[in-house]
Structure formats: C-alpha cells, structure tokens
Amino acid sequence: MTDTGKLKILVLISGNGSNLQAIIDSCQSGKISNGHVSQVISSKEGAFGLERAAKANIPTHVHKLQNYYKGIPKEEKEKRNQARELFNKELAEYILQPENKPDLIVCAGWMIILSPSFLNPLKEIPIINLHPALPGAFAGIKAIERAYEAGQKGEITKGGVMIHKVIAEVDEGDPLLVKELDLKKEETLEQYESRVHDIEHEAIVDGTIIALEKLVQ
Ligand code: GRF
C-alpha cells in the first residue's frame, strides 16, 4: 500500500506494453480506483513498454536473462538452467526489497517462464497473467496462432483470452476471468489477432480489478 492509500501494482512486460498501457490508462481514469502502477519491470531493454511507463512517470527496471547466460554456451544445458534459476531467484529478491514490494504482480506480455525459484519467495503476493487462449487450451507460446489454425481446421469454434493465477505449470493457474471469441473461418490471422488484442486490453484491466478486490476483502 502506498501513502496515497492505493494498492501497488507491479507490471512485468517484455515488449510493446499495450496491455500495460491499458492498466495505466485505467488507473488514471479511475476505472481502477484502488491501485496504481508502482513499477514496471521488463525482461528486455528497449521494450516500448518502458517508454510508456516513463511517459507516465512510473519507475522502471530491466531484468535480462541474457545477462545471466553471458559466457555460458548454449550446449551447457545444466549451467544455463542454473543461470535461469538465479535469474528467477534474484528477480524475486529485487521485487521483495521494501521500496519495491507490491501488493499485486501483473504479467502483461512477460515472455519468460517464472519458476518456483521466483514463485516460492513471493507466495504472499498474488501474481496474475494474461494468456491469449481459453483455460486448458494452447498453453505456452504462439497461442493466438495455434487457436486460429485450429479454428481454420474446424477443430474448435471458440478462441479468446484469460487472466489466470500464475503457478509453476505454464498458463495453467485458476482463471480469474475468461473472455471468449467466436472463431470465424472467413477471417485472416491478422483480423483474429486484432480482435484478441482488443479483448486483452479489457481483460487485463478487469482481471486486475478482480485481483485488487480480493486483496481488500
Ligand atoms: C499479448 O498478445 C499477450 O497475450 C502476449 O504478448 C502480447 C503482449 O502485448 N503474451 P503487449 O506487450 O502488452 O502489447
């Protein structure tokens, strides 16, 4: 909680940050009435989402996996896994520093798997994630494309997005909110993707509101 009496929302990003922008805008408009974005952490330097945060005077930090991999050849799988665990562990330590500690963590286009080395130290802090697929379908990367392809083959008729609790199993935590979309045979991937992004921007705000409400209950 900040001195403004608002809950602190830490947003994790890796890219454009359009979902981060939706949260920022909703905090400014009052749609999110009891929280504010206290910090943005990006896994990539130069992510446009960092510019969005800076424009909104939100502190930013970059936490790069590549820095942990430096000097470890790709073939050294075990050493890379250890480096990845250290990346997770130190990200949690950074977040838990008193000046950074949030009330809620929102993964908005964060593209690196968060392991138990990250999740366990943060057990007391709710972590939610936006995933552009329905519960139990298309966990992992390229979910939008995979859902679209399945629709084109007539295997499914519904796509959509969800906001879910982050657990060790990727994209499998309990959903807080699901928004469905009808898959249309006649549309292109780009058209479907555009509709997905539109409902993502609603879902990320509505999911953040739900998570904040749970904190004040
Ligand atoms: C979104 O499509 C999200 O579903 C996926 O990455 C994208 C993030 O977009 N994980 P942005 O960085 O919020 O614009």
Q: What's the one-letter identity of residue 92? A: A
Task: State in Å: Cα 108 to ligand 1 middle.
Answer: 6
Ligand 1 geometric centre to CA of 188 (Å): 19
Can you give the pLDDT at residue 4?
Answer: 76
Q: Measuring CA to CA, how many Å separate 65 from each of 70, 159, 185, 198?
A: 9, 31, 39, 30
In short, whether 19's Cβ falls inside 6 Å of ligand 1 is yes
Q: What is the pLDDT of residue 3?
A: 59
Residue 160 beta carbon below 6 angstroms from any ligand 1 atom: no
Other Cβ atoms less than 10 A from the Cβ of 18: the count is: 17
For residue 197, which atom of ligand 1 is closest to its CA?
2
Predicted pLDDT of residue 5: 86
**Beta pairing, strands 127-131 & 158-165:** antiparallel
Tell how far the Cα of 140 is from the centroid of ligand 1, in angstroms: 13
| DSSP symbols for 168-198 | SSTT-SPEEEEEEEE--TTS-HHHHHHHHHH
Chain center to CA of 97: 21
Q: What is the pLDDT of residue 64?
A: 98
Tell me the best of 20, 128, 130 to mutate to test the pocket of ligand 1, counting ligand atoms within 8 Å of each CB and taking the most.
130
- Per-residue pLDDT 10s for the chain (217 aa) are 665 789 999 999 999 999 999 999 999 999 999 999 999 999 999 999 999 999 999 999 999 999 999 999 999 999 999 999 999 999 999 999 999 999 999 999 999 999 999 999 999 999 999 999 999 999 999 999 999 999 999 999 999 999 999 999 888 899 999 999 999 999 999 999 999 999 999 999 999 999 999 998 8
**131 annotated active-site:** yes
> What separation in Å is there between the alpha carbon of 3 and the centre of ligand 1?
31
* Ligand 1 contact, 200 CB (< 6 A): yes
Joined together, the tokens standing for residue 206 give 């509505």
In the set 131, 164, 197, 201, the catalytic residue is 131
